[in-house]
């Protein structure tokens, strides 16, 4: 899987993490799309739309298409939610070059 693009669905990528051997999907959070439970994401991205307050934690497929999202007041809250869902992801976060 490649690094995240600069933006996903028009939102600037602040941080991203590849879900790899460092990360374990905990099952602590059930993500559904149209009533269908989603499996683990291939990558996570924390994104912001323009000057909008807050940020989104996006669960993405291997091509960085957004599959799931949650809104958070701060980047730190989004990171905490990601760790709740994927143990070990705290060590995987990166900024785009």
Q: Which domain holds residue 65?
A: 7-91
| Residue 1 lies inside a defined structural domain of this protein | no
Give the pLDDT mean for 74-92: 96
pLDDT, tens digit, for every residue of 23-76? 999 988 888 888 888 889 999 999 999 988 999 999 999 999 999 999 999 999
Give the predicted TM-score (pTM) of the model: 0.93
Per-residue DSSP letter, 62: T
Query: 76 in helix, strand or coil?
Result: helix
The C-alpha atoms of residue 34 and residue 29 are separated, in whole angstroms, by 16
Q: What is the pLDDT of residue 38?
A: 86
Give the pairing type, strands 55-60 and 43-48: antiparallel
| Residue 2 lies inside a defined structural domain of this protein | no
Inform me whether the pLDDT recorded for 97 exceeds 70.
Answer: no
Q: Domain count of the chain?
A: 1
Inform me whether the pLDDT recorded for 87 exceeds 70.
Answer: yes
| Residue 40 lies inside a defined structural domain of this protein | yes
């Amino acid at each position: 899987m490649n690094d995240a693009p600069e933006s996903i669905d028009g939102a600037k990528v602040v941080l991203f993490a590849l879900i790899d051997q460092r990360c374990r999907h905990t099952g602590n959070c059930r993500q559904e799309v149209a009533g269908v439970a989603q499996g683990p994401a291939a990558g996570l991205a924390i994104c912001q739309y323009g000057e909008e307050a807050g940020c989104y934690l996006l669960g993405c497929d291997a091509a960085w298409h957004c599959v799931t999202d949650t809104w958070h007041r701060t980047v730190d809250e989004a990171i905490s939610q990601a760790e709740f869902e994927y143990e070990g992801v705290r060590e995987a976060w990166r900024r785009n070059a």
